[in-house]
Amino acid sequence: MSKNIYLVLHDFTAVGDAALNYAVNLSDNLVNVIKLIHLVDDMKAISNALNKLDEIISKTNKSDNTEIISIVRVGSIYEEIAKVVKEEKVNLIIMGTHGAKGMQKLMGSRAMKVITSSDVPFFVIQKDTKAKAVKKILVPIDLEKESLQIIDIAGDIARMYDAEVSLVAEKRDDPFLSQKIKNRILIVRKQYEERQVKCHVELLPSESSYQKKIINYCAEKEIDLIAIAYHSNSILPQFDTFAQDLIENPDLLPCVIINSKTTSTFSF
């Protein structure tokens, strides 16, 4: 298996520690490089920040296959993350959230700005997200073709962990829309079968909000990871709220999210 490069955002809080621990867990038994990055306002802060990162790295339990390297950059997270991704050939970005209130620092509309600044997948976790193997992945799709751009990435993760993908969509009363979503599901299921990815399909009832149904489904089926494509022009109203609700899910599940407009090919 080829070596992958993960970029982990660390802000010297417990949230950064959680992101790093999750990255290490993802790298377990794999040959990976983790680039641990912190952003500062000016050059004078670089040395101190590097020392802090190196101290964090020294206290991190990891396998011999995983290398962790510290990076400190000066500038805005919206601009520097995209630059580092290109310079370091990053495959995946892992960042944590500070909860509903603290998310105003990085999450909410600002998080979408960070995610859309790069063309690689983001793993977004909460402070108390448990680092564990992924056995069940939930992939919600809708009537917009952009929602399908997460399919390949979810399939790659499923193959890496020998996990099962739960592909879900909303039932539609309109015959045309109902057939359209069923056709879309059949195409994705066939694709997964050809790639030998285990896949379970379920249509969720149309009452209540889609995100609420997804969150309830995750709890009922003991889902380990939610995978979504961010597409702000979705047929779903207020998709920013949809994505944020899933990122902030009450079961503290990690969420892998891509910007569907610019996403590139990614494989574990």
pLDDT in tens, 100-127: 333 334 444 455 667 767 788 989 998 8
CA 147 – CA 140 distance, rounded (Å): 8
- Statement to judge: residues 17 and 88 lie in one domain: yes
Cα pseudo-dihedral 97, 100, 105, 106, rounded to 10:
40
Tell me the mean pLDDT in the region 166-182.
93
Locus of tokens 């050939």: 89
pLDDT score, position 115: 72
- Statement to judge: residues 189 and 230 lie in one domain: yes
Tell me the mean pLDDT in the region 38-59.
95
Last residue of a domain, one of 74, 96, 125: 125
Last residue of a domain, one of 125, 154, 171: 125
- Statement to judge: residues 118 and 144 lie in one domain: no
268 found inside a domain: no
- Statement to judge: residues 19 and 85 lie in one domain: yes
* Banded pLDDT at 215 (limits 50, 70, 90): very high
Dihedral sign of CA atoms 228, 234, 237, 238 in order = positive
130 found inside a domain: no
- Statement to judge: residues 144 and 252 lie in one domain: yes
Tell me the mean pLDDT in the region 236-255.
76
Q: Bigger pLDDT: 89 or 101?
A: 89
- Statement to judge: residues 52 and 158 lie in one domain: no
Q: Which residues contact 162 (CB under 8 A, 6 or more apart)?
A: 135
pLDDT score, position 77: 83
Contact 89, 6 (CB under 8 A): no
Count: domains in the chain: 2
Domain range enclosing 209: 136-259
Which residue type does 195 have?
R
Tell me the mean pLDDT in the region 74-103.
80
31 found inside a domain: yes
Give the DSSP H/E element, type plus range, for residue 106. helix 99-106
CA 117 – CA 111 distance, rounded (Å): 10
Per mean pLDDT, which range of 35-44, 82-91, 256-265 is the poorest?
Answer: 256-265
What global pTM score does this model have?
Answer: 0.86
For residue 84, what is the domain's CATH number?
3.40.50.620
169 found inside a domain: yes
- Statement to judge: residues 171 and 100 lie in one domain: no
106 found inside a domain: yes
CA 63 – CA 9 distance, rounded (Å): 20
Locus of tokens 């109902």: 178
3-state secondary structure of 202: strand
Locus of tokens 């690689």: 120
